[in-house]
Amino acid sequence: MSRLLIVDDHALVREGLKRALTHEGFSEITEASSVLEARASIAALQPDVVTIDINLPDGSGFELVSWIRSISQEIGVVVLTLNDHENYIRAAMKAGASAFVCKSESIPSLVAAIKHSLVAPLSFSAKGLEKVFKNTRSFLTAREFDLLAQLERGQTTAQISKSLFISPATVKTHLASIYRKLEVTNRTAAIHAMHEQGLSSK
């Protein structure tokens, strides 16, 4: 039986998913509520599949997806989030996820995504993927979403640099790219645009 790790900061969501997936035949299910907990669980338990919410208290789910893919080509990674914006789908794919599922979708859809990720962890499936490929606009990258999440928390350039383990100069480069793509000139406007365009995971 496959080992499954659910990463979500809401206990009710984790419990609901665990109950539903147990009913679908998954028996070895563990939970984590943060990036830190997830990393520890993955190192200790070596799950076959991880479902990851994007909005976590100590970082972005995209950051966790990238980390998992950097250490394993075999773990299935399913991004499970409230937001199905094209930017999120593309960022999940680029970060190395196996599948993307919106929380408004059905449990059978999630189960199908999990099974897909078990068989082909390095491929990618998502509802509306064809539309994403047809759209040629500039999309935010997974790392840019990580920075936006830090901006929402009110972090300074120095704090973002420390949180994401990148230099202040790199932070500024990413911010410039974000401003260009969102067509804004400062942090406040970027956060506003993020919400206006439905890019916030909150």
pLDDT of residue 150: 86
163 CB-near residues (< 8 Å, 6+ apart): 59, 150, 155
Q: Per-residue pLDDT tens for 105-135? A: 999 999 999 999 999 999 998 887 666 555 5
pLDDT of residue 140: 79
pLDDT of residue 192: 81
Edge-to-edge strand order for the sheet containing 49-52? 28-32, 3-7, 49-52, 76-81, 99-102, 125-126
pLDDT of residue 137: 57
pLDDT of residue 187: 86
Q: Per-residue pLDDT tens for 132-154? A: 555 545 577 878 888 888 888 88
74 CB-near residues (< 8 Å, 6+ apart): 121
Q: Dig out the tokens for 116 from the structure.
A: 């897909």
pLDDT of residue 164: 85
187 vs 144: CA distance, rounded Å? 13
**One-letter-per-residue 3-state SS of the chain:** CCEEEEECCCHHHHHHHHHHHHHCCCCEEEEECCHHHHHHHHHHHCCCEEEECCEECCEEHHHHHHHHHHHCCCCEEEEEECCCCHHHHHHHHHHCCCEEEECCCCHHHHHHHHHHHHHCCCCCEECCHHHHHHCCCCCCCHHHHHHHHHHHCCCCHHHHHHHHCCCHHHHHHHHHHHHHHHCCCCHHHHHHHHHHCCCCCC
All residue ranges of the chain with pLDDT < 70 are 1, 129-138, 197-202
pLDDT of residue 12: 94
Domains of the chain are: 3-134 (3.40.50.2300), 142-196 (1.10.10.10)
